[in-house]
Every structure is written in C-alpha cells, then in structure tokens.
Amino acid sequence: MERRKFIQNSLALGLGATALGTLSANTLGKHFLENNLSTSPFFKLSLAQWSLHNAIQKGDLNPYDFAAKAKELGFEGIEYVNQLYKDVTEAKDKNSALKQFIAQSNAQAKVHGVENILIMIDGEGDLAVPSVSKRNKAIENHKTWVEVAAAMGCHSIRINLFGERDEQAWKAQSAESMRKLGEFAAPYKVNIIVENHGYLSSNAALVMEMLDEVNQSNCGTLPDFGNFCLERKGGERWGANCVKEYDRYKGVEELMPRAFAVSAKSHDFDAQGNETNTDYLRMLKLVKSAGYNGFIGVEYEGSGLSEVDGILATKNLLLEKAKLIV
C-alpha cells in the first residue's frame, strides 16, 4: 500500500526520533529520578495539545507552534491531538499531508527541545461498534497513526472505545480491535492506550477486564483524572450534564496498573489554587503508589481562565502537591 511505503520511508529517513517502545510506563522516568534531587517530582510534565484547542481552532495559534508554546510554558513533553491538524484531516492527498506533519512536528520538537510523547486519535472511526466492517475500517485508519507515531518517536497512540451500551458486546468488540492494533503496533514499538473518555470506556473495571482478555504488553490505559461520565442527559456523548458517573479515584486506581500515560484534567480552581472537582493530592498518591514515574499530561478544559492561565494553574498545582508526597 502507498500508505505503508511513505511511512516506511519516513522511518528510514529518521525524521526526528526513536520510538520509546513498549516499555512499561512505570520505567519511563527512571533516569530522570535517579539524577535529580529528592525535591523533584516523581513524574515529568507534558502538555496535552487539547489544552490549547480554542486558540488553535480560532486560528490564534498555529498547531505547528505547539512545541514552542509548550517549551515557553515549561513542559518537557508534548501530546498531540490529530483532529487539530486540519491540513491533515481535510487533505485530499493524506499521504503527502502526513509526511509534512511528521517532518514539521519533528523539526519543531527538536528545535525547542521537547519530547514527542503520544498522539491522541479522534475522528478515525469507532473501534467498538457492532459492525465488523466499520470496526475493520477504523482499525485500518488507526494503523496509519501507529506508523506516524513511530516516525515521530511517540511511545503511544491514544484511542477511543465508545461503541455500544451492552457491556459484554462492548468488551468483545473492543478487545478484538485492541488486539489487532496491538499486534500491528508491536514491531513499531508503539503502545495502544485507551482513555476513559465516556460511556463504557469510563467503566474502569470493565476496561481492565477487556485488557486482560487482550493480554498484550503494548496495550494499556491512559487514566484521565476527570473523564468518568458513564451517561449524559438525553444520551448525548458530549456537552450535556452527566447523570451517572464512575468514582474517579476508584477508576484511576483501577486503571493505573496498565498505564503508559496519565492525564491531569482540570476545569476550575478555588482561591487556594486547588482544582474544585478533583483532589490532586489524592490522585497523585494513587499514581505514585502504582509505581508510575513517567509523564503526567496537563489537560485544561475550563472556561474560567484563559487557556494559558489554566495550563499554568494545573501545572503549578501538580508541582505543589507533589512536594507533599514522600
């Protein structure tokens, strides 16, 4: 396939980075910890591009300036969101657009000294739907992003598992897609990670049961501190009020044993700088107790502060609470 050729060429040309591989996320920060004072946090900080989605979608920030902005704000790693690159998602010649995406992203990461961590994949089809043909199409679409991630040195792609409401059907369909993607991604040393992102994907116990069935070392989770809504009013996927929620602390604790990344979701802050929906100290204790010392990604989604101020408030909160953990 032409897609395979262009990605393989990108890998051969070494357009920027070496994949981190399927190492457990629990080892990603080992070197950092061994060479820093005890006052350093037990994790490294990355910035989720979605934190800047308003600026990008309004045209106030070029998505290719993401690395520069992350460095300016004091981050070591960056987490891309594919849907924010309209030059790729709306391209008539997607192969050419992806080659440019890889080259420009790698160049900017190198110039600004930040590490490509992962790519969050949206809009490439539902991997958990009943239709076999739709699932297979979604799997093929995601394979492209596995190859892109490898060419950029990202250790993972984040996928979504929305699908249907029947738990057993969801588990079987999700496991099949995860297994196929995991098998494909293994030679590229890329991990396939599912985020708790609504519906049954926010049922942490069910997600872990599904991953036990998949039983592949490069298939895991991306626990998000805040995405545990199981059902929204009117059955809406986004926007409507949440009417049924999984306990976020229980969920993070359950998802952490298979975590390759962690997302620190934030919306609002009180006068003391604490996130009003999530106890960050409690969350960080859960993360550390799982033995995790990789990147924690800041993902601000609030409206009370500007995107930049919200990012910095979240970053500062993580660093302050980390000081309280022995």
Give the model's confidence band at 33: pLDDT under 50 very low, under 70 low, under 90 confident, else very high. Answer: very low
DSSP 148-195: HHHHHT-SEEEE-----S-HHHHHHHHHHHHHHHHHHHGGGT-EEEEE
Give the model's confidence band at 21: pLDDT under 50 very low, under 70 low, under 90 confident, else very high. Answer: very low
Task: Evaluate if pTM is beyond 0.85.
Answer: yes
Kindly state the average pLDDT of the residues 303-319: 98
Kindly state the average pLDDT of the residues 131-143: 98
At 308 the pLDDT is 98
pLDDT digits (tens, 9 = 90+) for 56-112: 999 999 999 999 999 999 999 999 999 999 999 999 999 999 999 999 999 999 999
At 91 the pLDDT is 97
Can you list the alpha helix ranges (DSSP code H) found in the chain?
2-13, 30-34, 53-57, 66-72, 86-89, 94-112, 132-152, 167-185, 204-214, 248-255, 280-289, 307-322
10 or 309: which carries more pLDDT confidence?
309
Would you call 124 helix, strand, or coil by DSSP? coil
At 24 the pLDDT is 44
Beta bridge partners of 300: 266
Q: What are all long-range contacts of 96-104, with beta carbons under 8 Å and residues at least 24 apart?
A: 98/6, 98/7, 98/144, 98/148, 99/6, 99/10, 101/148, 102/10, 102/15, 102/16, 102/148, 102/151, 102/152, 103/10, 103/15, 103/16, 104/64
At 39 the pLDDT is 74
Q: How many CA atoms lie within 13 A of 257 on its CB side?
A: 9
The yes-or-no verdict on residue 32 having pLDDT over 80 is no
pLDDT digits (tens, 9 = 90+) for 223-261: 999 999 998 887 777 778 888 999 999 999 999 999 999
Homologous superfamily of the 2-322 domain (CATH) = Divalent-metal-dependent TIM barrel enzymes (3.20.20.150)
8-state DSSP, 92: S
Separation in Å, CA 24 to CA 248, 252, 290: 23, 17, 12
At 250 the pLDDT is 98
At 25 the pLDDT is 42
Give the model's confidence band at 29: pLDDT under 50 very low, under 70 low, under 90 confident, else very high. Answer: very low
